[in-house]
Amino acid sequence: MKKWVVTLAVAGVVVAVGVAGLFWFTRPKPELTIATWEGSYGHAQASAQIMPYGAAHRVNAKFALYDGGTKALAGQVASHRYDWDAVDMELPDAVAACDSGLLEKIDAASLAAAPGGAPAAQDFVPGAIGPCWVASVVYSQVIAVAPVKFGDKGPATLADFFDVKHFGGKRALNKSSAKLTIEMALLADGVAPKDVYNVLSSPQGVARALRKLDSLRGNLVWYASPAEATAMLKDGRAVFAALPNWAVFDADSETPAGMPKLAIIWDHQLYELEVLAIPKGNPKATRAMDFVRFATRTENLGKMASWIAYGPARKSALALVQKQPELHIDMLPYLPTAHFATAFQIDDGWWRLHGADVAVFWQEWLTKSDPH
């Protein structure tokens, strides 16, 4: 009798488990929408972070297109109608959105530790964890060098970019904004990295940066896009170009086998961050934060940097970077965080306060600079 009762009980448990399992696998998946950029960046994020999260957590993880700024985000927060549950933003926009109360606060202590046990705060690069954001990847302005011969000793430092005596040829710069260029000029002029923004906070400091750029008069050409800059390096219109590191990867990936590639000077690279954030008041904020934690784990940032030439924001992720899955190119030579010894972080908060004032000096200087 007892055996029969036990058998019935076990059968009941099996049926209950089966019904629960059937419900689990047939019930509609919860949805989570991550806003990100189109093109190769969005493809990389979908492959390394969004789709793996959906598979691991049985979530219908989707991505929506985002093209920068805070206007659409502000509209969603004001109306409480959310098209996005998390968003991948450039840090300047995240700073502005955070200051305007458009983003949820981030609990940094909840982020995953590094594989060796180091807490996230020690594993991420400086500036990567903010009150309303967590960085995913790093991109930098670097100095790209055309494949030309300079003699026994080629250029290797930021100062060499300004050394027209020993390293002749045109220098390509982007004239659309003073940002990056005036920091670069002060660093090359000997200002200590910790003092750059203190110096720039006065008109005399901005004038000092522009005087350093004056030393390149007669040796400047201007570009409108990173692709134009790399074209200048390839066709001889420029010998150096200050441009994003990912543009060098793009140019090299299109260079035929056996042809010389561009060189990169990483000395005093000027780095910025791409960050993940959550719209304020979003009812899916808890799940969105779960995605942020997943996406910024060491292994997933290593996968992200294997797809695209943005350095992982965690130091521990570099060891997991592999060849680009489709192009089979070694990625480490192109990643900012693999060459971080003298990296300089751009202060987007400072630019938010002082950018308009600097722009006046910059435009005045441009009217006096090379017309090319």
Q: How sure is the predictor about 149, in pLDDT bands with cuts at 50, 70 and 90?
A: confident
Predicted confidence at residue 18, as pLDDT, reads 53
152/217 same-domain check: yes
> What would the mean pLDDT of 258-282 be, rounded to a whole number?
96
206/229 same-domain check: yes
Q: How sure is the predictor about 368, in pLDDT bands with cuts at 50, 70 and 90?
A: confident
Which tokens is 273 given? 């961050």
Q: How sure is the predictor about 356, in pLDDT bands with cuts at 50, 70 and 90?
A: very high
Q: How sure is the predictor about 98, in pLDDT bands with cuts at 50, 70 and 90?
A: very high
Residue 260 lies in domain:
140-272+346-368
Ranges 2-6, 47-51, 149-153, 338-342: which has the least confidence? 2-6
Ranges 4-13, 112-121, 170-179, 342-351: which has the least confidence? 4-13
Predicted confidence at residue 152, as pLDDT, reads 73
Q: Give the rounded percent of residues in the chain with a pLDDT score beyond 70.
A: 91
297/358 same-domain check: no
Does residue 10 form part of some domain?
A: no
Q: Cα separation of 50 and 315, whole Å? A: 21
What are the Cα distances from residue 68, in Å, to 35, 37, 43, 131? 10, 8, 17, 20
Of 42 and 150, the one with more pLDDT: 42
330/356 same-domain check: no
Q: Cβ-count burial of 281 within 10 angstroms (0-12 exposed, 13-18 middle, 19+ buried)?
A: middle
Q: Cα separation of 256 and 275, whole Å? A: 34
What pTM does this model have?
Answer: 0.89
Bridge partners of 275, per DSSP, are 89, 135
CATH number of 107's domain: 3.40.190.10
Q: Cβ-count burial of 278 within 10 angstroms (0-12 exposed, 13-18 middle, 19+ buried)?
A: buried
What are the Cα distances from residue 300, in Å, to 49, 101, 141, 205, 317? 6, 29, 24, 41, 8
Residue 179 has pLDDT above 90, yes or no: yes
Of 157 and 25, the one with more pLDDT: 157
183/320 same-domain check: no
Does residue 14 form part of some domain?
A: no
- The answer to whether 315 and 337 are in contact (CB under 8 A) is yes
pLDDT digits (tens, 9 = 90+) for 302-331: 999 999 999 999 999 999 999 999 999 999
Which tokens is 187 given? 């660093």
Looking at this protein, which amino acid is placed at residue 319? A
Element (H, E) at 240: strand 240-244
Mean pLDDT for all residues in the chain: 92
